[in-house]
Chain A
Amino acid sequence: MARGSTLPAPRRGLRGAIAYRGGEGMLAWAFHRISGIAVSVFLTLHVVSIFMVGANPEFYDYIHLFYASVPGKVAEVLLGAALLYHALNGTRIVVMDLWPALTAYHRQLWRIVWITFFTLGLPGAYIILSRIWETAK
């Protein structure tokens, strides 16, 4: 597919920003961007909270109680999912960028990303979420 000539002209505004332009590449790009922004936001909060270990340990322990709560465990799984997807798809991008010949196999690489994501992610999510009923006992 010739890029550029077949793509519709970009639309402006919100509809333009979320318009689906087709193909695995677009989805991979959108998920990569969303997960990257999400992890960056967490990282900002995380560095500030770890700073509190030295500056104000009581405050650190207080905000850290969130990790023991049910929403906290769900947030942990979502963070892990964003991190894992970003790492796997990022590896796919690095592979294609540093060895451009492999771009021909981008669909297969995309499938490997998702197979690995669920193979590692589902047991991982189970381990984290099972602590909800362990602590409830």
Chain B
Amino acid sequence: MSGVPRARQPRPKGRGRELTYWLLTRYTALALFVLALAHYTMTHFVYDSSEQTAEWIKQVRWNSLAVRFVDWSMLVIVMLHSSLGMRTVVQDYFKGRAQSIVLGLLYTLTAVLVALGSHVIITLPLK
């Protein structure tokens, strides 16, 4: 059956690491349904996206520890979800050594993005 696309990934058998990843993808999905859609609503409907300059982010959006905490949680959850999803995609289209190399690049990129995002959320001065 490998190579035949299916509507969704079947639940892995047993209780191993694959099941953990499978469940984690679904639980993070439920959290992102709220977090990501609320984020899009805030940044594209409540405010005009073109008005949100660097200064605006400093003065308004990130002038609150609570908002920064929510945004940082969203960063971690979305990077978990997207890296698990892209892992499935890579496993479908790459085999053998190429797969290990591309997965290595994917995990490196994920770690770099979490580091960059965390860095700006933590170090941007509060007014």
Residues in A whose Cβ lies below 8 Å from that of B5 = 21, 26, 29-30, 33
In the complex, which residues 3-42 of chain B have their Cβ closer than 8 Å to any Cβ of chain A?
3-8, 11, 26, 29-30, 32-33, 36-37, 40
Question: B97 at the A/B interface (Cβ < 8 Å)?
Answer: no
Task: Tell me if A25 and B6 are in contact (CB < 8 A).
Answer: yes
Task: Produce 1/0 per residue, B72-90, CB < 8 A to A.
Answer: 0001001000100110010
State A4–B50 Cα separation when bound (angstroms): 50
Interface size class of B (residues with CB under 8 A): 35 or more
Within 8 Å by CB of A87, from B32, B52, B85, lies B32
Question: B116 at the A/B interface (Cβ < 8 Å)?
Answer: yes
A14 CB to closest chain B CB (Å) equals: 12
State A10–B33 Cα separation when bound (angstroms): 33
Task: Tell me if B26 and A97 are in contact (CB < 8 A).
Answer: yes
A106 CB to closest chain B CB (Å) equals: 8
Task: Tell me if A4 and B86 are in contact (CB < 8 A).
Answer: no
Task: Tell me if A25 and B7 are in contact (CB < 8 A).
Answer: yes
Task: Produce 1/0 per residue, A37-80, CB < 8 A to B.
Answer: 10110011001101111110110110011011000100010011
Task: Produce 1/0 per residue, B52-66, CB < 8 A to A.
Answer: 111101100000000
Residues in B whose Cβ lies below 8 Å from that of A1 = none
Given contacts A54-B124, A57-B55, A67-B50, whether A44 and B7 have CB atoms under 8 Å apart is: no
Residue of B nearest to A26 (CB): B5
Given contacts A53-B124, A57-B54, A60-B54, whether A21 and B82 have CB atoms under 8 Å apart is: no
Residues in B whose Cβ lies below 8 Å from that of A87 = 32-33, 36-37
Residues in A whose Cβ lies below 8 Å from that of B1 = 4
Question: B123 at the A/B interface (Cβ < 8 Å)?
Answer: yes
Residues in B whose Cβ lies below 8 Å from that of A33 = 5, 89
Binding site for B on A (CB under 8 A): 4, 7, 10, 16, 21, 24-26, 28-30, 33, 36-37, 39-40, 43-44, 47-48, 50-55, 57-58, 60-61, 64-65, 67-68, 72, 76, 79-80, 83-84, 87, 90-91, 93-94, 96-98, 106, 124, 127-128, 131, 135
